């Protein structure tokens, strides 16, 4: 294998920075050598000739060169085309990693130009740096702007409390990249970062280059996509790769950056809520996917709960290493000591731990926390949701961590309480709870209608509900939604599709009993009428999810209409106006504190009307929905189904 240290690479790139061009050329050179070794000189020559030809065609804007490139591709057999595509795809993935490293490099360079961080960082230090400019487009810059505009610390915190950002991972089996490929790409990114380190020794650079070459060789020799369509379980695992990987760490870093900005510009710290939380459709979105069953949703919840608690245990172990404070050196708060005494009455610790940490109250408290979390792990059962119920909740965990922070703050360790591992873990618990990402459930409005029809038929209330007019449907739904008695005692006796739909609502009820944050919204695809929203509410009532009180049904989850066609977007405000003024839905809305989430479909509206018409329809719908919600004193949250990274 060639040695790459000191390789003289010509910068071919135009319009990109020299560091990025240098990395792209290095990756391309390595991939070229790997292609020769793995696939052969003939294919390498074909790849390189085609690359240069396409480059000339673009630079010279020459149609004849484009035609020549097309002819060369057409002359290849299927195997050669497959190999050529694999090489080019690998190259594009490598370039993506280089581009990400370039973004990091630019941001770090901006941060360096912004000046050094303030120190000490604690409140009352009086060491604010008015002369240092924040990095452009950063949280620091945003807080600096608020300070310049005269906002007080309390007003800035109030702004954070109003933020409610919920990125949502949707279920896409077309996300074909395997986790093994993602891990290799991550390893390559780390190696590129190492090469950028100015203080790397020649030996370290040589070792890094050798390792980079080996990783590229392994990447080219790896199947990029799965041989079979992924199962729902595999989709869940794919989502967890991101949630428990880059997202997990990024959340903690964002909260850290907020605290640093507040300290820098207001010379103070403040409790900032979890303004960024996650939702997921993976394992719960059943619209058109028969593989997402009630059992799959139970399994998904159990898996998310288990993985999240296990990650907390890892974080707690590291935190326990940090908090080595001894009562022989410092004092702990009375509240913390009282909490430890209460824990001792409820949790049995090993004698070894009790003896080892008898003078270290912070570590002893964390041992009790760990024991409670391990008990939660023992309760997890993917088939028996009720078994997972326990007295110790994510709020209890956060309260225990807050107790540690308050004790540290009271006794001269403000920074340890407001930053570092303790602050990181508190931010994670605020954001992810024990559920990781709230599961949204989505189903087509037609399935709800069929299930309601089956229930009414089995109960002897209405033989042909689907054949009724909208007005007659609403009359039936209103009567049933204000009647506390269930329609059918045994849902298993219903036709199979209706029984499965009822089991979904029963699972939602069971999940919420274990963790109210486990389920996000209930989304109704193809919402056309008021009955399309009242039907799933009736199914929720039938499953014991919510109850009739004072003559009105109160549903504990948000019913979200999804407007996705051009016609639906155009009519969305009129439909919501009718819904808001319907007595049954108005009572539900009152129970939700006047809050309504509405989802807008981007892909279906593009398919329906094309890009420009869809965007115009979406623009109008967003404006009109804001007006109708304001007129009806409804607090609106828009769920933009536009997709993206």
Catalytic positions are: 172, 607
Its sign, for the CA torsion 180, 182, 185, 191, is: negative
CA distances from 461 to 442, 451, 455, 489, 557 (A): 27, 14, 9, 14, 27
Beta-sheet strand order (sheet of 519-525): 168-169, 279-280, 438-444, 519-525, 558-563, 595-601, 635-641
d(CA 390, CA 582): 39
Asked if residue 545 lies in contact with residue 512, where contact means CB atoms within 8 angstroms, the answer is yes
Residues sharing a CB contact under 8 Å with residue 327, sequence separation 6 or more, in sequence order: 359, 360, 361
Residues sharing a CB contact under 8 Å with residue 95, sequence separation 6 or more, in sequence order: 24, 27
Is 53 buried (19+), middle (13-18) or exposed (0-12) by CB count in 10 A? middle
d(CA 577, CA 585): 11
Asked if residue 101 lies in contact with residue 21, where contact means CB atoms within 8 angstroms, the answer is no
| Distance between first and last Cα of the chain | 36
Asked if residue 532 lies in contact with residue 445, where contact means CB atoms within 8 angstroms, the answer is yes
3 state SS of 582: coil
Q: Record the tokens describing residue 53, joined without a space.
A: 């030809």
Residues sharing a CB contact under 8 Å with residue 207, sequence separation 6 or more, in sequence order: none
d(CA 133, CA 232): 48
d(CA 90, CA 27): 10
Cα torsion through 17, 20, 23, 27, rounded to 10: -120
Please state, as a whole number, how many other Cβ atoms lie within 10 Å of the Cβ of residue 600: 23
d(CA 139, CA 132): 15
Strands 552-554, 547-549: pairing kind: antiparallel
The residues with which 559 forms a beta bridge, in sequence order, are: 522
């Amino acid at each position: 294998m060639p040695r790459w240290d000191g390789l003289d690479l010509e910068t071919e790139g135009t319009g990109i920075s020299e560091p990025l061009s240098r990395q792209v050329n290095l990756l391309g050179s390595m991939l070229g050598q790997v292609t020769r070794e793995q696939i052969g000189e003939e294919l390498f020559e074909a790849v390189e000739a085609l690359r240069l030809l396409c480059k000339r065609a673009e630079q010279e804007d020459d149609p004849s060169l484009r035609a020549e490139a097309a002819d060369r591709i057409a002359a290849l057999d299927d195997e050669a085309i497959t190999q050529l595509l694999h090489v080019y795809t690998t190259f594009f993935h490598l370039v993506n990693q280089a581009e990400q490293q370039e973004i990091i490099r630019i941001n770090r360079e901006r941060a360096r130009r912004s000046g050094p961080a303030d120190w000490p960082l604690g409140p009352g230090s009086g060491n604010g740096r008015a002369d240092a400019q924040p990095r452009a487009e950063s949280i620091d810059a945003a807080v600096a702007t608020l300070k310049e505009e005269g906002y007080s610390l309390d007003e800035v915190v109030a702004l954070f409390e109003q933020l409610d950002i919920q990125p949502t991972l949707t279920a896409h089996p077309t996300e074909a990249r395997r986790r093994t490929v993602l891990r290799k790409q991550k390893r390559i990114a780390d190696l590129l970062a190492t090469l950028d380190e100015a203080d790397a020794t020649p030996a370290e650079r040589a070792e890094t280059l050798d390792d980079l070459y080996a990783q590229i060789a392994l990447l080219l020799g790896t199947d990029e996509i799965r041989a079979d369509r992924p199962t729902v379980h595999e989709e869940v695992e794919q989502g967890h790769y991101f949630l428990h990987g880059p997202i997990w760490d990024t959340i903690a870093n964002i909260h850290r950056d907020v605290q640093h900005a507040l300290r820098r510009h207001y010379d103070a710290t403040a409790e900032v809520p979890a303004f960024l939380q996650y939702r997921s459709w993976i394992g719960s979105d059943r619209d058109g996917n028969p593989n997402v069953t009630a059992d799959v949703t139970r399994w998904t919840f159990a898996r998310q709960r288990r993985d999240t608690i296990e990650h907390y245990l890892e974080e707690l172990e590291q935190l326990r290493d940090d908090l080595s404070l001894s009562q022989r050196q410092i004092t702990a708060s009375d509240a913390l000591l009282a909490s430890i005494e209460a824990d001792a009455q409820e949790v049995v610790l090993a004698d070894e731990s009790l003896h080892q940490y008898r003078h270290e109250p912070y570590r002893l408290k964390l041992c009790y926390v760990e024991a409670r979390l391990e008990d939660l792990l023992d309760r997890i059962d993917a088939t028996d949701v009720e078994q997972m119920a326990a007295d110790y909740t994510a709020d209890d965990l956060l309260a225990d961590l807050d107790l540690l922070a308050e004790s540290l703050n009271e006794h001269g360790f403000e920074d340890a309480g407001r930053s570092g591992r303790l602050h990181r873990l508190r931010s994670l618990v605020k954001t992810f709870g024990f559920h990781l990402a709230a599961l949204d459930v989505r189903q087509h409005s037609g399935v709800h209608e069929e299930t309601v029809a089956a229930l009414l038929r089995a109960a002897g209330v209405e033989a042909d509900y689907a054949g009724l007019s909208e007005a007659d449907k609403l009359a039936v739904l209103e009567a049933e939604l204000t009647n506390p008695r269930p329609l059918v005692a045994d849902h298993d006796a219903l036709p199979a599709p209706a029984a499965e739909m009822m089991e979904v609502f029963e699972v939602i009820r069971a999940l919420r009993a274990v963790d109210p944050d486990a389920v996000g919204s209930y989304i109704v695809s193809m919402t056309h009428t008021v009955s399309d929203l009242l039907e799933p509410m009736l199914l929720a009532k039938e499953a014991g999810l919510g109850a009739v009180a004072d003559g009105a049904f109160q549903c504990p989850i948000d019913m979200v209409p999804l407007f996705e066609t051009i016609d639906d977007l155009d009519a969305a405000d009129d439909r919501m106006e009718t819904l808001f003024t319907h007595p049954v839905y108005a009572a539900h809305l009152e129970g939700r504190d006047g809050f309504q989430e509405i989802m807008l479909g981007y892909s279906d509206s593009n398919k329906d009307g094309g890009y420009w018409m869809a965007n115009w329809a979406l623009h109008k719908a967003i404006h009109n929905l804001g007006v109708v919600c304001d007129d009806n004193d409804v607090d609106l949250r828009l769920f933009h189904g536009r997709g993206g990274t």
